[in-house]
Structure 1
Amino acid sequence: MTLTLTQANLIIDSAISKAKELDIRISVSVCDAGGRLLAFGRMDGGHWGAGYGSQGKAVAAAGFAKPSGLLAERAASPIMIGIAQAEGGHIFYAKGAVPIFADGVLVGACGVGGGTGEQDEECAGAGVAALQAISVLQG
């Protein structure tokens, strides 16, 4: 399975809904399993730099098939630095992104920037949960 634009936009809309509940302004990036951007959204009034953060965190979550925050502790290791350099410097090892799985297979990731790391990850998780809820209902 691959993510569709419709699915990516559902993830973005759901992440933004969670951000509204938290009273924060975010940027949301959804990428495919290879870490390439599929869809992006920035809330009105959101900081422009959060877009880079959201995408970099999504790349990390997709690249390692785990929440990006779990990588932060090792970010300064030579291996992690080398991976970031080889990837072009677009990968961010910071909390705020979660991978997306379908039938146990990695299909992408959702990254969020604009709040605290915890808020960003909560919004990303809400986006992915909305997709999974629809998939369960349709499946």
Structure 2
Amino acid sequence: MALTLEEANRIAQGALAKAQALNIRINVAVCDAGGRLIAFQRMDNAIWAGVYGSQGKAVASAAFGRPSGDLTERADHPTMRGIVAAEGAHAILGQGAVPIIRNGVVEGACGVGGGTGQQDEDCARAGVEQL
């Protein structure tokens, strides 16, 4: 089953609600299993760099089927650098995104940018929990 726009929007709203509870301003991106954007939201006055960070972390999480922060330690490994380069250098191997997995299948990911890495991941998790 593919992730729908309605589901992606619900995930984004869950991430935004968590950000409001944390009193931070974020950008949230929800992508499909191929790393292509389905839904995006940017809170008022969120940093502009988070637009790219949220999407890049979502791409990485979808590509590897794990939280993007799990990839940080290996980010400088030649294989990881090669994969990121071959993919077009969109993936960001830093904390802040989690995969969307249903019935053992990666359907996409939610990435967040604007807070600390941990805050971003917490917001992304809160979003995915809305499914």
Residue 6 of structure 1: aligned partner: 6
SS at match of 2:12: helix
1:66 aligns with 2:66: yes
1:92 aligns with 2:53: no
Instruction: Summarize the alignment of residues 1-139 of structure 1 with structure 2, pairs less than 5 Å apart.
Output: 1-131=1-131
Deviation at 1:102, TM superposition (A): 1.3
Using the size of structure 1 for normalisation, the TM-score is 0.93
| Distance in 2 (alpha carbons) for counterparts of 1:20 and 1:93 | 25
| Distance in 1 (alpha carbons) for counterparts of 2:70 and 2:105 | 19
Amino acid at match of 1:21: A
Bigger fraction of residues in helix: 1
Deviation at 1:116, TM superposition (A): 0.3
Using the size of structure 2 for normalisation, the TM-score is 0.98
Deviation at 1:48, TM superposition (A): 1.1
SS at match of 2:130: helix
RMSD (CA atoms):
0.5
Q: Once superposed, which parts of structure 1, at least 4 consecutive aligned residues long, lie more than 2 Å away?
A: none
Deviation at 1:103, TM superposition (A): 1.4
| Distance in 1 (alpha carbons) for counterparts of 2:85 and 2:102 | 29
Stretches of structure 1 that go unaligned for 5 or more consecutive residues are 132-139
Sequence identity (%) = 62
| Distance in 1 (alpha carbons) for counterparts of 2:13 and 2:53 | 18
Deviation at 1:49, TM superposition (A): 0.8
Stretches of structure 2 that go unaligned for 5 or more consecutive residues are none
C-alpha distance after superposition, 1:59-102 (max 9, x if no partner): 00000000000000000111111111111111000000000011
Residue 136 of structure 1: aligned partner: none
Amino acid at match of 2:111: G
